[in-house]
Amino acid sequence: MALKRPHPMLLLVLVLLAGWLARLGQGASYPQFVRQHVDYPKTRARNDRSYCNLMMQRRGMARPCKHTNTFVHAPASQLRDICGRAGRPAGRNLRNSNNRYRITICRLASGSTRPPCNYRGGSSTRRIRVACVRGLPVHYDRNL
């Protein structure tokens, strides 16, 4: 019995499905990265705790309570450059920044698991690692 060739419509569906799954696997997008991680110039607040409570609420990450988030206090253009000349490869689509950036790390306070969320914060200057897709940062991986 001779094998039949695959139907062209089936091939098209499989190609579209593979593309959709690949895009889904990438997770975040550049606009989402900016919303979640870029705050330049830094929003004024009394202290890091007030800053984190304000920013996590304002940026939509306090419903449900996100456990940890880092805000980078640099222009988005500088962070985009990490995906190019201002960064170096760190495996797969990850890039380490060449420069240090002012950051604020917001962590959910113990005992605060449901809204209203209560955060504690800490500021420092660190190199950072981001994941890049098509030359744009789409995921904040960690501090270095």
On whether residue 104 sits in a domain, the answer given is yes
pLDDT band at 1 (very low <50, low <70, confident <90, very high): low
Q: How confident is the model at residue 13 (pLDDT cuts 50, 70, 90)?
A: very low
Does pLDDT of 45 surpass 60? yes
Residue 83 lies in a domain: yes
73 is catalytic: no
Q: Is the pLDDT of residue 129 over 50?
A: yes
Q: What is the CATH number of the domain that holds 67?
A: 3.10.130.10
Residue 123: both structure tokens together:
């500021």
Is 79 contained in some domain?
yes
Determine what percent of the chain is predicted with pLDDT higher than 70: 81
Q: Which range marks the domain in which residue 117 is found?
A: 28-143
How many domains are there within the chain? 1
Question: d(Cα 122, Cα 124) in Å, to the nearest integer?
Answer: 7
Instruction: Given the residues 7, 67, 73, 139, select the one marked as catalytic.
Output: 139
pTM: 0.80
Our CA angle for 52, 40, 126, nearest 5°, is: 75
